[in-house]
Chains A and B, each alone.
Chain A
């Protein structure tokens, strides 16, 4: 967490960064944001730029001219379309939308009001559809701030389709309209205004002098809301919360106060921890992994976790438990290794400032939460962390905790074997290969976004980008689903193949860290080779783009019989010649189910 900067601080730091960045980051890929607003949004761009820069993301902006967003949208030759944004933010405010009638709402009849709201909704929809037709970027659309006044006063709620009801209705329909849309996200600006306080959200001087529809002082908070969408788009998301125990999950010290003495339960101070645990469990159910990093006697702490009647989080909710007297840094690294989750995807929560500072210093990639001294504020602090957003929630997310439990059992089972192959054989692994389809599309996208280690090219795809590849028709995209005697790991492998005449290029080859070490990749590669053979393809091109995280697979193509061809812009090119006698090593103990033959998906 950082200290609160004023708008002036942001503008100053923007000026400092921008000139530096233009020199140093000219080559770097920019994240392109289009801001389409009906009012002045001066300073918004600068603040958002600085906030993104702090997460190592260089932005480039397109701003439509003051209140000329519609012209931009309806003219397909406009600069907006040339800009090809990654993200579009549409911020139309209610005063601009309904214009003269905002302070004269009952100047028009009920029928006229209904007509007005319908036509506004229609206009908005047409604009959004137009953008969707021409661009594949995600589109964030503000809903509208519901007014807190009415000339009818207390009679407002009696009025047929009253002023306030009409705007609530508009918000309702806007949400309904795009509920199933994967590209368009309605940003609940009305809630945002409520959170700030509708009395405070406007600076009336700047409203009338320069038409600012949100007080410029609240722009940093508004930008934070936008970051909730930007982070998952750029895979800057957190996967795991690492928790301390004493005075974090319960009040008091396990080793001193014991099971009876700690504070947890339906008392005023105990409820604080009860609610905190409940919200952690909510996040866990959405696929956020929990782990414990605590200095304690394991038996004291585990006794509470297992036997305390008000413990909301059970042992099974934690994917890794490190309770010992090692220092917290060692434990943190251990958790990261055991769970195969990068330190930069971890959030650390501890009431002890010394521990927090230690982690911050030693492991700067870890997000350290500034937990307030007052435990009553724990739950609101957790709620305000906007680190866990995602554009999709897959079946795999929801089942994630269970899968980690199964993994623990697998590790136990492994101890009985001296030979890894013997162990793998006994797992009864089954791999289902399936072409991209409506059911696995979201998961395929997610895997390209999240997978870092077993990922040969680390290419990130959005849903729209994958859909474009499907439409293109020149690509073979398939997923691999893995299960064994301990349970279902779900879809954990993805291949994207570009089918050029005579040669196929492996654009993406990845495996989720959950199933690394089970030779699933052998089956996937053998599948590609078999397929190439049957279509008389002369060779397969494999590419390896090294990153800080994928050294695990640096010899993948070499180990599988590919020949090194050369290096091009940090990309290694490997080649495998295909002839009828070729036999790639597969893993015969794995049962392969080929679903691609069952149905031809167009």
Chain B
């Protein structure tokens, strides 16, 4: 499994195997603004990437997050 998926599940306290595109800030109780900060800094630290402020604004659900990360890992 991809590292970012594991981190995502870990920080939001979700089952790794149940992570899917539909998980969003709106429908996930553990994904509040505080968890979102933790998610960002954990991903930045573990994957050695940096988000831009626009990217942070675009994070709404797992799908959008994954798209941003994939673009960064490719770079």
Q: Which residues does A use to contact B, with CB under 8 Å? A: 6-8, 11, 42-43, 203-206, 208-210, 212, 216-217
Contacts and interface: CB of A to CB of B under 8 A. Distances in A.
Contact of A206 (B37, B42, B52, B57): B37
Contact of A205 (B34, B38, B45, B53): B53
B2 to A, nearest CB: 18
- Counting chain B residues whose Cβ lies within 8 A of the other chain, the interface size class is 10 to 19
Given A43-B34, A206-B37, A210-B33, A6 B53 contact: no
Interface of B: 11, 33-34, 37-38, 40-42, 45, 51-53, 56-57
B42 A8 contact: yes
Nearest to B57: A209
A204 B54 CA distance: 12
Interface of A is mostly: helix
A119 B25 CA distance: 43
A212 B40 CA distance: 14
A204 B53 CA distance: 8
B57 A11 contact: no
Contact of B40 (A42, A43, A205, A208): A205
A209 B45 CA distance: 18
A42 B34 contact: yes
A190 to B, nearest CB: 25
Given A42-B34, A43-B34, A216-B37, A208 B53 contact: yes
B11 A8 contact: yes
A8 B38 contact: yes
A208 B38 CA distance: 16
A217 B53 contact: no
Nearest to B38: A8
Contact of A209 (B11, B34, B42, B56): B56
A6 B42 contact: yes
A204 B50 CA distance: 11
A206 B41 CA distance: 9
A208 B53 CA distance: 8
A210 B40 CA distance: 12
Contacts of A204: 53
B53 A7 contact: no
B41 A217 contact: yes
B41 A8 contact: yes
A206 B52 CA distance: 10
Contacts of B42: 6, 8
